[in-house]
Structure 1
Amino acid sequence: MDLTPPPMRESQPTLLIVDDDREFANSAADYARARGFIPYQAHSLAQSRQYAHLPSLDLLLLDLTLPDGSGFDLLQELDLPEHGRVAIVTGQPSVESAARAVSLPVADYLIKPLKPEQFDSLLDTAAARARPARADCAGMVGECVAMRRVIRDIGRVARSTATVLIVGESGTGKELVARALHEQSGRRGPFVAVNCGAIAPDLLASHLFGHERGAFTGASNRHIGYFEQANHGTLFLDEITEMPAQLQTYLLRVLETNVITRVGGTEAIATDVRVVAATNRDPLRAVEDGTLREDLFYRLADFTLELPPLRARGHDILLLARLFLDRLNQHYNTRKRFAAGTERVLLQHTWPGNVRELRSAVQRAYLTCDGDEIAVQPGYRKLAPVHHDATTITFHVGMTYAEVEREMLLKTLEHFGNDRTRTAEALGVSVRTIHNQLARLRANGAGNGSAAR
């Protein structure tokens, strides 16, 4: 099939090509990709089953003669109304197969070689019928029950004025969900994101609410805070449980009154801001241990969205991996593909870093492979063994969690010369968490030396 790809479309409907003729499948995939589709390929009946039950397929291009069975077998298994369009493409036409196709809800019965205008017609129809919800969720991808529920709930709550609390492990896409809420809200103002754990506690109030000139040492000019910057828009407060308790009290008042006062100022400033908060902790447990004020929790949780970890999303892992690879191929103008066995490896890994880890693993495999086939190896390569030295931490069976935490914190601080920022980065926590842990050690008399001061 000699096709010259036309310009890209803005939408990204999906196409599954089931054909053991790899040359035809690659050509069709390249052409569809240039038309803005996300194409997937399967070269056997068994392989097609990994893709074909995705409810968002907009076009299924199916060969009847496969190495391990007939394409009709797949059609009988599918819930066909869930698929936007099904087209049979065969190089071995027969009256029997044509008659059987007519008895099923198959849109087209085409004979190879496929004419460009025939394929154009298929793609145009499928693109027109692509689900509009896909384009309305800030690029979110997911077909598992939990993610479809999240996308449905985003549509339900987006246009309301309710505050939303997003709960999910690190790397599950909480900011992406917040952006989707903003994009579907109809609010004309900007989307402003702030990580409450990445700003020093004594500066967070100034960042959020702004300050007047002379409010504190170094405040040489008036500063407009995030609340004013997000006026008529959405303010995303990530790691809300890292916010100091005193500031939580003020935030609660702001949410109740929609009025702020800059640090060092007296003017009451009315704001129109939709607040979306997020945490990677169990919010109820955070309330119990005093990290999150109970009244603020109930004010933030007008509506709660719980994001599933990647390990619980089943074949979404493959969907996302193919999407990341497809984006890399488009960006670098390549045609790399996953090596045999890669999908099994992807599904067996637990992905503690969730979608962020998967994206990194695919990109790392893409950049380090020499040919056109990439083999994703989840996790990072183990470093060469090191000799024990003063910076080595040794844990013994029977140590309590508090003892392990104390030893890890103090040893890491010592290694980085008491640099709390570098220590926080090494331990994968916020600087505020380091401050809080040291404060607890001092209060319990467990800290010693300059590290705990």
Structure 2
Amino acid sequence: MPNDSAHAQVPSAPTVLIVDDDRDFAYSAADFARSRGYTPYLAHSLEQSRDFAGIAPVDLLLLDLDLPDGSGFDLLDREGLLPEHGHVAIVTGHPSVETAARAVARPIMEYLIKPLGAEQFGRLLDRAAVRAHDGDDATVPGMIGRSAPMRRLAADLRRIAPSPLSVLLSGESGTGKELAARALHRLSGRAGAFVAVNCGAIAPDLLASHLFGHERGSFTGAAGRHCGYFEQANGGTLLLDEITEMPAALQVYLLRVLEAGRLTRVGGAEEIPVDVRVVAACNRDPMRAVEQGALREDLYYRLADVHLELPPLRSRGDDIALIARAALEELNAEHDVRKRLAAGSERALAAHAWPGNVRELRSAVRRAFLTACGDEVRIAPGPRRPQPAAQDPDRVSFSVGTTYAQVEREMLIKTLAHYGRDRTRTARALGVSVRTVHNQIARLRESGYEVD
């Protein structure tokens, strides 16, 4: 797992796959790699290592030659792992001229002899980490996935992270908005802390104190001065999750703090300068929230210098299996066992709609892991959502669990098509302004939809 306390300039935790039947060496190597900021994965045979082939590219492959069911070279030859891994190192306790020649003839290959010294292994890990940092632009720290939607998200996050722009993240529950905010912080290079607050989880009358702090005696129970989340995140990043749940009066003060870069604690008079990169997040469509009065329009435009919508898991293809395998490996490491996905699991995972997104998937993996009788984990998600046999081009159907954003998107696209792309008639039919239709079309285009 990525270490959130790592220095801000480190973009993500690199990964190492250790394939070795010497369990003492493998566990010791994993512990050492973990101490150097790596996320380690373990396999003790060719069969176990094939769980990772082509599924979870790693930054370093540490491969033993003498395995119970063949040679480490067999894994490279049969599975074609070299293009999928940033750095490959052969580690053997039985060196020979033949195996050394085969190793050095391959690209990005090192040939190391056991036992490995800490200094030698450390240099290897450092080289692989540098390669991973320099070449990895398809992923973001702490988020797993290489599907097209995640590649677009990664590119957006990396592009805007170093800037001072405020970011608004929207998307269904469980899509990883907090992980995206953490990635923004770690990619930004900001030296301060990352602080997250759920605006809907704090009583409205206490939220101001939590955000902006208070002075002693400012209200009953205020026994001393308290520095709020803004001050705690000074020089860093503050995530305001569920921003649409913030009371309207407090939104006014938040806007003033964002505009001025200064705050006043509850019960205080002194203005305190703060340098905070604000990332806001919500499960609702933000423009819908503006129209319904849950989010001030002026605050929306101040928060949404950049608006990113996180993709639902069902749109991410092979990422589903990749995330499931990563969750399983975390559980294997936690319980010191070696379980694997049962045959056919990937088809079942791909067939499910995952309305709870990544959170639901990880919960399903954990449930299946803890209830599995043997080494095979069979994930049994809920029943697949039924799909209509045919679609009337002038009719829109939705099931329970469909988000407002999806409903609005489908309604807009179908209404535009019905009225021959006439935006004025579309706006009149939907009961909104023409400006709203223009804004929604622009946001759909930014998200990759072909509207007209």
TM-score scaled by structure 2?
Answer: 0.62
1:183 equivalent among 181, 186, 194? 186
Aligned pairs for 1:395-414 (under 5 A) are none
Pick one of 319, 327, 340 that aligns with 1:338: 340
- The answer to whether the aligner puts 1:240 opposite 2:257 as a matched pair is no
Is the 1:13–1:126 contact (alpha carbons within 8 Å) kept by the matching residues of 2? Answer: no
Distance in 1, matches of 2:182 and 2:344, equals 32
* Aligned residues between the structures: 356
Note if contact 1:163-1:302 (Cα within 8 Å) is conserved in structure 2: yes
Query: Secondary structure at the residue paired with 1:52?
Result: coil
Per-residue deviation, 1:141: 2.3
User: Partners of 2:45 and 2:85 in 1: how far apart?
Assistant: 22
Q: Displacement, 1:116? A: 6.9
CA distance in structure 2 between the aligned counterparts of 1:347 and 1:253, rounded to whole angstroms: 46
Q: Distance in 2 between matches of 1:101 and 1:214?
A: 71
1:53-202 to 2 correspondence within 5 Å?
A: 56=58, 58-59=60-61, 75=80, 80=83, 84-85=87-88, 107=109, 128-130=127-129, 131-132=132-133, 138-202=141-205
Cα distance in 2, alignment partners of residues 259 and 338 from structure 1: 53
Of 348, 352, 355, the residue aligned with 1:349 is 352
Tell me: CA distance 1:318–1:127, structure 2 relative to 1, closer, same or farther (3 Å): farther
Partner SS state of residue 362, structure 2: helix
| Aligned-residue offset at 1:232 | 2.2
CA distance, structure 1, for counterparts of residue 224 and residue 122 of structure 2: 57
Counterpart contact for 1:85–1:126, Cα < 8 Å? no
Give 1 or 2 for the bigger CA radius of gyration: 1
The match for 1:322 is 325
The 3-state SS of whatever aligns with 2:191 is coil
CA contact (8 A) 1:56 1:143 kept: no
Structure 1 residues 41 and 259: alpha-carbon distance in aligned structure 2, compared to 1, 3 A threshold: same
Q: 1:283 aligns with which of 271, 286, 295?
A: 286
Change (3 A) 1:367 1:55: closer
Residues 33-61 of structure 1: CA distance to partner in whole angstroms, max 9, x if unpaired?
Answer: 5564644779999x969842656564496
Unpaired stretches in structure 2, ≥5 consecutive residues: 1-11, 34-38, 93-97, 384-399, 401-452
Tell me, yes or no, if the aligned pair for 1:14 and 1:58 is still in contact at 8 Å.
yes
2:127 alignment partner AA: A
What residue number does 2:393 align with? none
* 1:367-446 map, 5 Å: 367-379=370-382
Q: Which residue of 2 aligns with 1:209?
A: 212
How far 1:256 sits from its partner (Å)? 0.6
* Structure 1 residue 348, shift from structure 2 partner: 2.5
Matched, 1:294 2:293: no
Contact 1:336 1:374 in 2 (8 A): no
C-alpha distance in 2, partners of 1:25/1:222? 56
Q: CA deviation at 1:367?
A: 2.3
Q: Deviations over 1:261-312 (max 9, x none)?
A: 2233333222222211111111122222222112211111112333222222
Structure 1: runs of 5 or more not aligned? 1-9, 18-22, 90-94, 381-400, 402-453
What whole-Å deviation, never above 9, does each CA across 1:224-248 have from its counterpart, x for those lacking one?
Answer: 3222222222211000011112211
- Whether the 8 Å CA contact 1:42–1:48 is kept in 2: the answer is no
The amino acid across from 2:133 in the alignment is P
SS of 2:185's equivalent in the other structure is helix
SS at match of 1:170: coil
* RMSD across aligned positions (CA): 4.6
**2:251 counterpart of 1:252:** no
**d(CA) in 2 for partners of 1:269 and 1:341?**
59
| CA shift for structure 1 position 74 | 5.1
What is the CA–CA distance in structure 1 between the aligned matches of 2:126 and 2:230, rounded to whole Å?
40
Alpha-carbon deviations, 1:202-226, whole Å to 9, x = none? 2222221223344445545443322
The letter of the residue matching 1:309 is P
Q: Which amino acid aligns with 2:354?
A: W
Residue 230 (str. 1) matches residue 233 (str. 2): yes
- Is residue 260–residue 271 contact of structure 1 (8 Å, CA) maintained in 2? yes
Q: Which residue of 1 aligns with 2:365?
A: 362
Q: 1:195, CA displacement in angstroms?
A: 0.6
Q: Which amino acid aligns with 1:128?
A: R
What is the letter of the counterpart of residue 128 of structure 2? R
Q: Identity percentage over the alignment?
A: 52
- TM-score normalised per structure 1: 0.62
Amino acid at match of 2:343: G
What is the aligned partner in structure 2 of residue 266 from structure 1?
269
Are the equivalent residues in 2 in contact too, given 1:62–1:71 (CA < 8 A)? no
Measure the CA separation in 1 of the matches of 2:122 and 2:233: 40
Instruction: Determine if contact 2:290/2:296 at 8 Å carries over to the other structure.
Output: yes
Cα distance between partner residues in 2 of 1:327 and 1:369:
16
Deviation at 1:325, TM superposition (A): 2.1
Q: Structure 1 34/318 Cα, relative in aligned 2: closer, same or farther at 3 Å? A: farther
